[in-house]
Amino acid sequence: MKVVHYLNQFFGGLGAEEQAGIGPEIRGEAVGPGRLLEQVLGDGSTVVKTIICGDNYAAENLESVMETVVNEVRDSGAELFVAGPCFVAGRYGVAAGALCAAVQAELGIPVVTGMGVENPGVDLYRQELYIVDSGENVAEMRDVLTKMAAIAKVTASGEDVGRPAEWGYIPRGIMKDEIVEESAAVRLANMIVAKTQGQPYETELTQTGFEPIPAPPAVTDLSNATVAIVTDGGLVPAGNPDNMPAIASTIWGSYDIATVDNLEGEDYEVYHRGYDNRHVLNDPDRLVPVDVLKELEKAGEVGKVYEQFLSMTGLANPLANSRRIGQEIAENLKSAGVDAVILTST
């Protein structure tokens, strides 16, 4: 198998941080970890090209490095592209992920990389790529490359790679059907028995990891602040002007409340299939508390109630979609001069 291998300046033997600004250099042979990669791939596999690039250069010129790498891989007729492993080197990981994703998309050949789970490249590319969990210890190089080689060979043969835990890669969030002998009830009971006895067991429902969010500073003087109401409960004006879906919404809406002092059920609809909507339809203030917030505005406790409330349907949304919507809503409110938000969630 013909292989192109990407390394940063450190693993490529050019130097440490002082060489991080160096642009892509091409070598016609395996370099450093690439020699080990040839060994563990076996079957006469050859690294026909090694591309070495400084971490800072790659981070600052990612688009052009991507173009260079895709062209080099194409010209070499490679059947496999390998980047890293990068362990917990952040800039290296982000570049390796981007390059693997670009080669995979442009050339359709197998790609594989390796990173420690804390590497920021993991969150960015785990869904698209096989990223072997390298841990942070560079001394594990042979073990990591062996896992990367195993995944590369299976992918190249067109077969499916098995479960993350068995193959040593970071879960991509892919669900696959599987025939099992025991019913869900039996499996559940076995898990509970194992748990109560302190025995190991494996959950079938892994939780997504969430990054900590830095807390925004307090708004100490609310009597001079503009406060907005946002809800994920799916409240929209009657007629549903934005066609808000009742499940898995990809949109959000912004609706005028400048001239109303409380919300009347007849003026609103709820598009959210995840809770019994009748109580909110009877009185939408139960979800979007315009009535009391406007009273507090009149009383001077709140400077201003923002003249729109923002709404979306928070039900069965993929995380990436929810993050995008959250960012869009935050940007919208920020540019409108809103100082603080009350988010109501059903």
Q: Is 246 in the site for another protein (CB under 8 A)?
A: no
Decide whether 32 or 120 has the Cβ nearer to another protein.
120
110 — phi, psi (to 5°)? -60, 145
Q: Is 342 in the site for another protein (CB under 8 A)?
A: yes
Under DSSP, is residue 52 helix (H, G, I), strand (E, B) or coil?
strand
For residue 184, CA distances in Å to 80, 162, 181, 196 come to 40, 21, 10, 18
Under DSSP, is residue 126 helix (H, G, I), strand (E, B) or coil?
coil
Tokens encoding 32: 């450093």
Q: Is 156 exposed, middle or buried (0-12, 13-18, 19+ CB in 10 A)?
A: middle
* Cα separation, 101 vs 121, whole angstroms: 11
**Of 39-47, 66-74, 100-108, 275-283: span binding another protein (CB under 8 A):** 275-283
Decide whether 168 or 233 has the Cβ nearer to another protein.
233
DSSP letter string over 89-125? -HHHHHHHHHHHHHHHHHH---EEEEE-TTSHHHHHH
Q: Is 295 in the site for another protein (CB under 8 A)?
A: yes
Answer for which of 139, 216, 258, 335 binds another protein (CB under 8 A) is 216
Q: Is 264 in the site for another protein (CB under 8 A)?
A: no
Tokens encoding 302: 């709140």
Decide whether 17 or 118 has the Cβ nearer to another protein.
118
Q: Is 292 in the site for another protein (CB under 8 A)?
A: yes
Decide whether 136 or 267 has the Cβ nearer to another protein.
267
Answer for which of 199, 243, 282, 327 binds another protein (CB under 8 A) is 282
**Of 91-99, 208-216, 239-247, 251-259: span binding another protein (CB under 8 A):** 208-216
Answer for which of 215, 258, 259, 266 binds another protein (CB under 8 A) is 215
**Of 10-18, 151-159, 181-189, 204-212: span binding another protein (CB under 8 A):** 204-212
Q: How far is the CB of 289 from another protein (least distance, A)?
A: 5
Decide whether 53 or 228 has the Cβ nearer to another protein.
228
Chain positions 300 to 329 lying near another protein, rule: CB under 8 A, are 301-302
* Cα separation, 263 vs 255, whole angstroms: 12
Query: Does a cis peptide bond (omega within 30 degrees of 0) precede residue 200?
Result: no
Q: Is 285 in the site for another protein (CB under 8 A)?
A: yes
Give residues with Cβ within 8 angstroms of 202, minimum separation 6.
none
Pairing of strands 253-256, 111-115: unpaired
Q: Is 336 in the site for another protein (CB under 8 A)?
A: no
Answer for which of 220, 258, 259, 335 binds another protein (CB under 8 A) is 220
Site string for another protein, 27-56 (x = CB under 8 A): ------------------------------
Decide whether 19 or 346 has the Cβ nearer to another protein.
346
Give Cα 319 distance to the centre of its chain: 8
- Total residues in contact with another protein, by rule CB under 8 A: 41
Give the neighbor-by-neighbor strand order of the sheet with 304-311.
226-231, 304-311, 253-256
Decide whether 19 or 249 has the Cβ nearer to another protein.
249
Give residues with Cβ within 8 angstroms of 23, minimum separation 6.
53, 54, 57, 61
Decide whether 62 or 219 has the Cβ nearer to another protein.
219
CA neighbours within 13 Å on the CB side: how many for 178?
A: 11
Q: How far is the CB of 282 from another protein (least distance, A)?
A: 7
Q: Which residues bind another protein (CB under 8 A)?
A: 207, 210-213, 215-220, 222, 227, 230, 233, 275-280, 282-283, 285-287, 289, 291-293, 295-296, 301-302, 340-346
